[in-house]
Amino acid sequence: MIRRIHGEVTEIAADSVLIEVNGLGYEVLVSAAVRDRIAERGVGHRVELHTYEYLAIEQNRATPLLLGFENEAQLAFFERLLEVPRIGPMMALRMMVLPVATIAAAIETQDTRVLESLPGVGRQKARDLIATLQGKIGRFVDAKDLAEAAPSERPLTTAESDALEMLMQLGYTRADAARSIAAAMADAPEGLDSDDIVRRVFAGRVG
């Protein structure tokens, strides 16, 4: 079983990278987040990925697939996701668009809003994730981050939730985005949309 691969990136596709090792090209499937980080460095650089190998069975045909992860923590968390009913390797890989700590914190704090934002995860899958893994994945979440990620007493409005997602796309952690929004909304008038909230967050940082 191939558990690690180290070589030169020769091709980058939508959901995979081709890594050349001693004249052999290995296609490695990766999450969108990992693919984007590899693409930032471009073709020609060397990369090391921890891998998970399995056989995809379809119409009596077995196809060997290699899935790649940036570190052992990502791979270990991926393998925990496979314990959840009706989550197979490809779905688990697609789900990993957020940092492991963010997803783990959402499971531990029952934050279904974050879980339902993951590709392929609806309300029932979010419940399955919590029911199966809550209390078992603490090592993937820093204790301080977990406390900050706990749901607040006041649920977010739709506009605040949208603003939260916008800030996370800009590089904020979920905890930092939530704190910034709470501060921005402390004396805010009613009826603000997500763009207004984000502007207030940045205005507060400038001030």
Return the bridge partners of 160, or none: none
What is the end-to-end Cα distance of the chain in Å, rounded? 55
- CA distances 172 to 26, 45, 88, 140, Å, are 34, 28, 29, 19
Q: In the numeric block, which tokens belong to residue 189?
A: 């008038």
Domains of the chain: 1-70 (2.40.50.140), 80-151 (1.10.150), 153-206 (1.10.8)
Helix ranges restricted to H, 55-118? 72-81, 89-95, 100-108, 112-116
pLDDT surpasses 60 at 98:
yes
pLDDT in tens, 59-69: 888 889 999 99
Q: DSSP class of residue 150?
A: S
Question: What pLDDT sits at residue 130?
Answer: 95
pLDDT surpasses 50 at 93:
yes
Angle, alpha carbons 193-199-205 (nearest 5°)? 140
Global pTM value: 0.68
Return the bridge partners of 17, or none: 12, 28
- Sorted by sequence, the CB contacts under 8 Å of residue 109 that are 6+ apart come out as 146, 149, 150, 151
pLDDT surpasses 90 at 145:
no
